[in-house]
Structure 1
Amino acid sequence: MTDALFLSSDELADLATPADYVEHVREGYRQRGEGAAAEPRTKLTNADPPGMFTGYLAVLPETGVMGGYTYGAGFGAGDAWFVTPLFDAESGEPLAVLDGASMNPFKTGAAGAVGVDELAREDARSAGIIGSGPQARGQLRAAAAVRDLDRVWVFSPTRENREAFAEEMGEVVDGEVLAVEDSASAVEGADVVITATNATEPVFDGELLEPGTHVTAMGRYHPEKHELDTTAVSRSKYVLDLRARAQKDAGSLMAAVEAGAVGEDHVHAELGEVVAGRAEGRVDDEEITVFDSGGTGIETVAAAQMLYERAHEEGRGTTIEFAPASEALTGR
């Protein structure tokens, strides 16, 4: 038998700042750039009741942990539940099982922020956010940890939602946060554009992107749904979290390839390759860059390890026992 910790969402919620998440997720992507193993999500869908069951995995050998993320979304309750197992990469033994609800927007936001830090201009000071849910909030909090944003424009189709976002996030980030009437108003003049939506079609016109803009697109991971149009894709230096997503669920890229706007070789690099210095990031202030962030086990495992260590130090969590397979197979 071996002991592990179960850590509830509430026990994890106050253990780290957005900047802490960014630091650890950046290190996870560096290891990926050096060859650490990670796979895109596997997604299973159910028709009645409608729902999605999905999961993905990563190994961070230098950190000494491995794990993944499994969650169900939709189904009868119409909600989502996130389960994060964390293992010791040396022994293979389980270390913890985390309820991933509270960390979800922060670790995903941190991946987006690493993309911003690597690909946006150093002098980026304004951001346009399309979307107003928890993921949009997580993206903005993390982006504000890597760039001093003095103005943020937010658009979502429901006026009450975008105004509530502007009011709440205006208390969180140093800059002014303004709700705008359409996506064009969020994109025009923005140094950084972040899409965090559940849209099935592109959410802005790629012609509106000014030279030097960086885009983080993180809301869709579906071969037939995409947030970016072919123009935005074709005008950009395109970076994926994992290359294997290019023909699996990177819908914006897949649509652009199908339309003939770009070739299958349009992916410039994985984010980890840029972080590790194995591929160049931005090379001048005129480039348009895109980070297509579909979600991976990299940010999940990196964030889970940080939270586990901090929770362990503070004596949080409930001890649970796991039996090794040798005991189960022998019936001892």
Structure 2
Amino acid sequence: MAAAPATTARSSLPTHAARASSAWRCARTWSSSASRLPSRQTAKASARGATRWLSQATAADGSASGPTTLPFPEEAENNPQRGKELALLLSREAVEPLLSLAQAIELTEEAFRQQAGGEVVAHAPYHIAVGGSKALRVVSGALLGWRRVGVRLGPNSGLGGDRMYALLFDTEIGALLSIMGYPFGTLRTAAHVALAAKHMARQDAQKLGLFGVGRNALGLLKAMATIRKLKDIAVSSRDAQRRKTFCAEASRLLDIQVRTVENPEEAVRGMDVVFTATNSSIPVFAEDWVEPGAHVSSMGKPTELSRGLLLKANRIVVGSLEQERNYHDRSAPIPLLELTAEGKLSWSGICQLGDVVTGRVSGRASREEINVFRESQGGFGDVAFASWIYEEALRRGLGQEVTL
């Protein structure tokens, strides 16, 4: 019988040599060498840094051991604190420059591949109400293939803002790996929506309608502009002055025509893609305005899309079935829940984005198809980002290691 893996004096963390053994390797492997993140040693030689975050496992003698494996924080060479339970404390200012839009979309795609492989634990976001509209928002999830579970939490808008924080843990030994400021909520939303559009919008999509000019709006347009060659963007919102200011700024940054429309119908009819990013408790447009071939993506309240649109759509895809079924805010009827309860739609006919990303389900069957994507508002996608940030911060020597 093989000897049990060596452990540190203070915790059950395996030593570097023990982690090189097959007993401690991550179950998740990627067949394409292009999809692997270099180790911290390899990444130092790369001008662009790592573009994925799995590293090549090595045996105790330094030879390659085959499958890829997740890097561990206490593997850092010359770390005087090795053997202690350490957490990496990272400020918002330190982490904000580390994650680009391209990397965010790439990490998001890998997270959804894990979803398709049954290696994701999804949990619906929820609010802890503290009076009136004030609440603490909690978002959580796990990526079992990467041995990571985490929580993103912070005050909602009613409690004073959107400054969020993330806690990252190891799923096998329970070690707290990092506590970090987390300024990536809007980036995660943009990456999810862009990834869905990549697979569900027509390849020649050029015209986009946008509802809402809040904190997510500009990021959505930036992300979509990396997926399709947009030429015309029509924006509808309730506040005419904010809408005008937003369009001017978006046009300048994207070098694309971004125009304001007074009539919301103009942001739907003739559009290849329609994004809704609102907190509306009623549908923001009529389903009759949606024309054949359109891709509609919702990332605000689930009430912003009508029952009629969901029935009209040829295909509905969601970020997470678990999260859509258990959406926290029941202050208004939720069309998707109503229609499935009434038997007019079936959960078995609604697929998750991971199935589309991996090709198990087609994102679009024809040019004339109308399809809908519902962004399920965080969770395991945030864990993917936090995991990347944690590893990249270690590679760069950022943050402060604290004993808790």
TM-score range, shorter chain: 0.7 to 0.9
Which residue of structure 1 lines up, in the alignment, with residue 241 of structure 2? 160
* 2:110 match: secondary structure: helix
Which residue of structure 2 lines up, in the alignment, with residue 86 of structure 1? 168
1:306 matches 2:306 = no
Matching residue within 289, 309, 332 for 1:232:
309
Runs of 4+ in 1 over 6 A off after TM superposition: none
2:125/2:377 contact within 8 Å kept: no
Deviations 1:178-212 (CA, angstroms, capped at 9, x unpaired): 11113211112211111000111000111111111
**TM-score, length-scaled by structure 1:** 0.87
Gaps of 5+ in 2: 1-83, 329-333
Deviations 1:118-150 (CA, angstroms, capped at 9, x unpaired): 211111112111010111122222222212212
1:12 matches 2:95 = yes
**How much does 1:90 deviate?**
4.7
1:44 matches 2:127 = yes
Larger Rg over CA atoms = 2
Q: 1:71 to 1:47 in 2, by over 3 A?
A: closer
Matching residue within 308, 317, 326 for 1:248:
326
* 2:163 match: secondary structure: strand
The separation in 2 between residues aligned to 1:309 and 1:171, in whole angstroms, is: 34
The separation in 2 between residues aligned to 1:165 and 1:267, in whole angstroms, is: 37
Moved more, 310-319 or 121-130: 310-319
* 1:20 match: secondary structure: helix
**TM-score, length-scaled by structure 2:** 0.73
**How much does 1:44 deviate?**
3.3
The separation in 2 between residues aligned to 1:169 and 1:90, in whole angstroms, is: 44
2:186/2:215 contact within 8 Å kept: yes
Name the % identity: 29
2:121/2:144 contact within 8 Å kept: no
The separation in 2 between residues aligned to 1:93 and 1:162, in whole angstroms, is: 46
**How much does 1:256 deviate?**
3.9
Instruction: In structure 2, give the amino acid aligned to 1:200.
Output: S
Matching residue within 185, 189, 213 for 1:132:
213
Deviations 1:246-270 (CA, angstroms, capped at 9, x unpaired): 4322923124446x59323474201
The separation in 2 between residues aligned to 1:132 and 1:38, in whole angstroms, is: 32
Which residue of structure 2 lines up, in the alignment, with residue 21 of structure 1? 104
* 2:345 match: secondary structure: coil
Instruction: In structure 1, give the amino acid aligned to 2:376.
Output: G
Aligned residues between the structures:
315
1:294 matches 2:371 = no
1:150/1:174 contact within 8 Å kept: no
2:310/2:372 contact within 8 Å kept: yes
Deviations 1:5-34 (CA, angstroms, capped at 9, x unpaired): 222222222222212111111110110111
Moved more, 20-29 or 66-75: 66-75
Which residue of structure 2 lines up, in the alignment, with residue 329 of structure 1? none
1:272 matches 2:350 = no
The separation in 2 between residues aligned to 1:315 and 1:207, in whole angstroms, is: 55
2:197/2:224 contact within 8 Å kept: yes
Structure with the higher strand share, 1 or 2? 1
CA-based RMSD of the aligned residues comes to 2.1
Matching residue within 272, 275, 297 for 1:216:
297
**How much does 1:49 deviate?**
4.1
The separation in 2 between residues aligned to 1:278 and 1:58, in whole angstroms, is: 23
Which residue of structure 1 lines up, in the alignment, with residue 275 of structure 2? 194
Instruction: In structure 2, give the amino acid aligned to 1:79.
Output: G
